[in-house]
Chain A
Amino acid sequence: MEHGTDTTEEIQKSIGRLFFLLLLMFFVATFVLWRIDNPRAEYLRARAFDVLIAPLEGGLVPIHNVVEMAKGFKSYQQLYEQNQQLKRDLKEQQIWSEAASQLAQQNAKLIVLNNVQVDPKLSHITGVVLVDSGSPFRKSVRVNVGRQDGIKDGWAAMDGLGLVGRISGVGKRTARILLLTDTASNVPILLQETGQRGFLSGDNSSRPTLEFLENPEQVRPGDKVVSSGDGGVFPAGLPIGQVVVGNDRRLRVILSADYQNIELLRILRSSAPEEITSYGELVAPHHESNAGGGNNE
């Protein structure tokens, strides 16, 4: 009798061991698949977020607000000073807003005069940040717009002040934005003062580094950095930030975008750049039209 229970226990144990090995192999296989077919795996991840996070959208915003309130309580003592400061600022702003509204009117008139159509490239979709990456090693956020809103991979995301990142991974209802500070982020940039081109590559710190500049010694702190549009992913000329020299003596960029407070992002619709498929037609007259001209004569 006792012998019988022993064998069943042994069988159970070996089944458990087999199951353990199978599970281990399954996870290793998923890693290999993730490595080989990364886009598909990331697509599956985006689907998981669609299913798990998008339904929580209604709940996430209040939680976010509570967190913001808790942060606000910290500065409760300074609230009065802040209030006074804000009142002073508001007065100044009113002057500016008056000036701005006058300019807007003027602008509207000029647009009508010129009959200008605003470049559709410059239109945008606004997304609300739902969640961040949840890991200190990855800098990304997820917004509540996705494929059903026409979002595509590679589009630029900005807040009101500057470039924040680009779309990297689109689900049906959510999309992931890779921030400029992520280690995987490399953006072609242009230094406005010296006209040098280079790359802005994130290193998980709040100030990404400048790489591949032709003459780094010409660059001075305070130079303005904008996107160069090279590679055709981003539109050119989006403001990014200012050059500083980091503690490690490398050239870094203070980002203009307010990274401490990313809530609403505008995602710029950018179309793929027109490809030049043949040479010469831009300068020389078209060969066939030449031939046609010949026939007419």
Chain B
Amino acid sequence: MSPQDPSTERHTIAVLVDNEPGVLARVIGLFSGRGYNIESLTVAEVDPENRRSRITLATSGTRMIIEQIKAQLSRLVPIHVVSDLTDDGPSVERELALIKVATADNRENRIESLRIADIFRARVVDSTPDSFVFEVTGASGKIDAFIGLMRPLGLADLSRTGVAAMARGRTGLLDGS
């Protein structure tokens, strides 16, 4: 029996927590203190009535480490539910990004950026004579691809929200917890 499985997996984990001071620090401290990776993290209150927030994080590690991460998260006191969206059946993942392209006076780049934005269903949310800000949503891979295409056209700034994710089907974290 090998104690360590060398293959690394990427997992998206959703955590429903009490929205109280320090709860995010507990989650982040757990990752840094135990040497786990956080690749993406989003957090916002989702249940104002019961003051509960949802943290969605993407992490990677061996199967044993992923199991440890989930067990360690579960034992934090203000945590209601830990759900491994990667393991627990199909899920949808979306990310939003704002991408600023500064084309200066290069008219062709300006047209090309609009054309690519159209293909990716990105919206123009700000426009000046020599720049655009695009808003794009989608799976992280789609956003990576969009950024890749925009980079040579004059990528000037970039802001990504991190992954928001949810299991497909009718059940959710907010029920029954």
Answer whether A and B are interacting partners. Answer: no
Residues of chain B having any CB pair with chain A under 8 Å: none
